[in-house]
Amino acid sequence: MAVAAADESIAGSSFVHTNTVADRRSRDQPVDTAAGSGSIRHPIVLYVLVNENATDIERYDLIIVGSGSGNSIPEYLADWKIALVERGMFGGTCLNVGCIPSKMFVLPADRAVDARNSEKLGIDTRFNGADWGAIRDRVFGRIDPIADGGRDYRATGTPNVTLIEGTALFVGEKLLDVEGRTITAPNILVAAGARPVTPPIPGLVETGFHTSDSIMRLDDLPERLGIIGGGFIAVEMGHVFSGLGSEVTLFNRSNGLLRDFDREIAERFTAVFGERVDLRLGHVPTRVARRDDGRIAINAGGDVVVVDELLVATGREPNSDLLDVEAAGLECHHHGTVVVDDTMATTVPGIWAIGDVANSYQLKHLANAEASVAFWNIAHPDDIRSQSYKAVPSAVFSNPQVASVGLTEEQAIEAGLTISIGRRDYAGTAYGWALVDETSFAKVIVDTATGLFVGAHIIGPQAATLIQPIIQAMELDTPAAEVARSVFYIHPALTEVVENAILDALVEPDPERVVPPASADDVDPTAPDAGMEPGIVRSARV
């Protein structure tokens, strides 16, 4: 009986596999260090017999692990006995250390950048500095009470919900240990989120560093900030700190920023952002060390850059290992996300997973939508719903702002689609003239076989707002021609950028304007697709 399969059970008892709960919980220390960042995904397991009939096991109808998107418990579960387990700040990442505070910092940074750049508009404004402490206290003075209020509401205001504070750890298929309490339920929702990863850079852990969890709560605005990473958190925080007055140096392994985005957009972003931030691209720092004066020295590409604070933003990893989901028999992808289908069901019946622990998008609107599907399916087994992933949009609230939905140009080509690309610079519209904009543009990708959008990408002011009609059209299968021609676009609003980009994609290619490739002597330059990459039809007005 010492060794058995994880899901094996014997007459009211089940095997709990563990090298003691306390041992496994020690992996949970601290989440920001290399040692604690998910290095152990395949622990050596022993099996201990637990009596499921034991009276000290707390029984619920539903256990939810994680109070981020998992806290959106619908009204129709009001008579379910629910345990909500949370190990950290109530409300999860988005509220406490993610989307919401970061955007509350982005706005003053945007204003500061505008104040510096107003000369082109013919007005004289200056940025005279930021009161970091006042901004920080305003942001968290708004957020912390919401988190505290949410916690109190669950602790005392919802009689059917028991808030259990501590780290949940699977010790059997439907059994969880929370700091010595054993709980069970026929339905379990894993909504445990993700945490920052720590890259294996010599000296980094010993030196100490910030992640997005701590950087927004700094005591003072650093004079010089180093950032390692080139994704959305790195460039949003880079914008915040450089906008508010820090000298920012950003180190990234790739030669560009936002490499998961459409190449043209990523290249434009890197060029524009590089005018404000010292970009050290193509190098991973080889060593980080604390100097005697307290500053941090970063070796990269043969240079040494000295900064006052260091932010590491090299990605996030799912918290599936903290929960030891394998002890419940759940399957994970190689990068640790729990395997789910589009109903949010895991590979173990009755266990569901949503959000950052189950998908790689890392988007709050998706985590919310998945939570709503999972709750519905838990309560309505005869009316199962599915989550659509047809048009999952994302935005980067840096400066410039970026928004994206669907396939990039590169992905569409790789998928073998014949596409038409429409593109419109902000400068090609009346509102763009008002902005005196020279760098922003919208790009839409239409499948010429179906007339439907397969993607859209915008860089520039209000990109995240402007992209909305295309998100709608992609989800609802509205043809691009209808989106451009069947509705009004207010003149002279910025939405005309999107209208014109779509119209561009719908214009027949003009053979006169097609440029043949220099090396292709034998290509007929008047052929509609001459000089184009395979499968792409570019409109004449690009």
Ligand X SMILES: Cc1cc2nc3c(=O)[nH]c(=O)nc-3n(C[C@H](O)[C@H](O)[C@H](O)COP(=O)(O)OP(=O)(O)OC[C@H]3O[C@@H](n4cnc5c(N)ncnc54)[C@H](O)[C@@H]3O)c2cc1C
φ, ψ dihedrals at 476, nearest 5°: -95, 5
Q: Does 365 bind ligand X (CB under 6 A)?
A: yes
Binding residues among 38-57 for ligand X as defined by CB under 6 A: none
Q: Among residues 92 and 455, whose Cβ is nearest to ligand X?
A: 92
Pairing mode, strands 303-307 and 175-178: unpaired
Contacts of 529 (CB under 8 A, 6+ apart): 509, 514, 536, 537
Question: Of residues 15, 24, 38, 68, which one binds ligand X by CB under 6 A?
Answer: 68
DSSP-assigned letters across all residues of 390-405: TT--EEE-SSS-EEEE
**Angstrom distances, CA of residue 370 to CA of 97, 100, 364:** 21, 19, 10
Instruction: Give every CB contact of residue 249 below 8 A, 6+ residues apart in sequence.
Output: 224, 225, 226, 227, 277, 278, 280, 298, 305, 307
Q: Is 365 a catalytic residue?
A: no
Examine residue 192 and tell whether it contacts ligand X (CB under 6 A).
yes
Among 14, 167, 387, 500, binds ligand X (CB under 6 A): 167
Name the one range near ligand X by CB under 6 A: 15-23, 351-359, 376-384, 501-509. 351-359
How far, in Å, CA of 67 to CA of 313, rounded?
23
Question: Among 219-227, 240-248, 350-358, 382-390, which window interacts with ligand X (CB under 6 A)?
Answer: 350-358
Q: 427 vs 214, 437, 500, CA distance in Å?
A: 39, 6, 12
**3-class secondary-structure state, position 152:** helix
Nearer to ligand X, 89 or 494 (CB): 89
What is the contact mask toward ligand X in residues 233 to 272, using x (rule: CB under 6 A)? x---------------------------------------
Q: Per DSSP, what are the bridge partners of residue 317?
A: 195
Please state the closest distance from residue 417 (CB atom) to ligand X, in A.
Answer: 27
Provide the minimum distance between the beta carbon of 121 and ligand X in the complex, in angstroms, as a whole number: 28
CA 113 to chain centre: 25
Q: What gap in Å lies between CA 514 and CA 103, rounded to an integer?
A: 43
Q: Binding of ligand X at residue 228 (CB under 6 A)?
A: no
Residue from 87, 136, 174, 457 in contact with ligand X (CB under 6 A): 87
What would the two tokens of residue 431 be? 């509102």
Check residue 356 for interaction with ligand X (CB under 6 A).
yes
Antiparallel, parallel or unpaired: β 296-300 and 303-307: antiparallel
Which helix (H) or strand (E) is 318 found in, with range?
A: strand 316-318
Q: Which stretch binds ligand X (CB under 6 A): 51-59, 96-104, 113-121, 325-333?
A: 96-104
Least Å distance, CB 36 to ligand X, is 12
For position 362 contacting ligand X by CB under 6 A, the verdict is yes
| Smallest distance from ligand X to CB 227, Å | 12
Task: Establish if 163 lies at the interface with ligand X (CB under 6 A).
Answer: no
In the complex, what is the shortest distance from the CB of residue 363 to ligand X, in angstroms, rounded to a whole number? Answer: 4
User: Minimum distance from CB of 209 to ligand X (Å)?
Assistant: 15
Supply φ then ψ for residue 236, to 5 degrees.
-70, -45
Binders of ligand X among 386-405, rule CB under 6 A? 397
Query: Count residues contacting ligand X (CB under 6 A)?
Result: 36
Binding string, residues 432-471; x marks residues near ligand X by CB under 6 A: ----------------------------------------
Candidate list 364, 423, 443, 538; residue touching ligand X; CB under 6 A: 364
Token couple for 116: 């510096």
Query: Is 146 a binder of ligand X (CB under 6 A)?
Result: no
**How many residues are given for the chain?**
542
What is the nearest approach in angstroms of ligand X to the Cβ of residue 165? 8
Q: Report 306-345 residues binding ligand X (CB under 6 A).
A: 319, 322-323
Nearer to ligand X, 168 or 537 (CB): 168
Identified binder of ligand X from the candidate list 85, 266, 311, 537, rule CB under 6 A: 85
Alpha-carbon span 156 to 158, nearest angstrom:
6
Q: Which is nearer to ligand X, 109 or 506 (CB)?
A: 109
36 interacts with ligand X by CB under 6 A? no
Query: 147 and 155 in contact (C-beta within 8 Å)?
Result: no
Q: How many Cβ atoms sit within 10 Å of the Cβ of residue 341? A: 10
98 forms part of the interface with ligand X (CB under 6 A): yes
Give the three-state DSSP class for 487: coil
Asked if 203 contacts 287 with a C-beta cutoff of 8 angstroms, the reply is: yes
- CA atoms of 74 and 66, how far apart (whole Å): 15
Nearer to ligand X, 127 or 361 (CB): 361
CA separation for the pair 405, 408 (Å, rounded): 8
Question: Binder to ligand X among 21, 50, 62, 65 (CB under 6 A)?
Answer: 65
CA-atom Rg of the chain in angstroms: 26
Give the span between the Cα atoms of 36 and 348, in whole angstroms.
27
**Shortest Å distance, C-beta 442 to ligand X:** 20
Sign of the four-CA dihedral 396, 400, 402, 408: negative
Q: With binding defined as CB under 6 A, does residue 198 bind ligand X?
A: no
Indicate which residues carry an active-site annotation: 491
Contacts with ligand X by CB under 6 A lie at 65-70, 85-88, 92-94, 97-99, 102, 167-168, 191-193, 212, 233, 319, 322-323, 355-357, 362-365, 367, 397
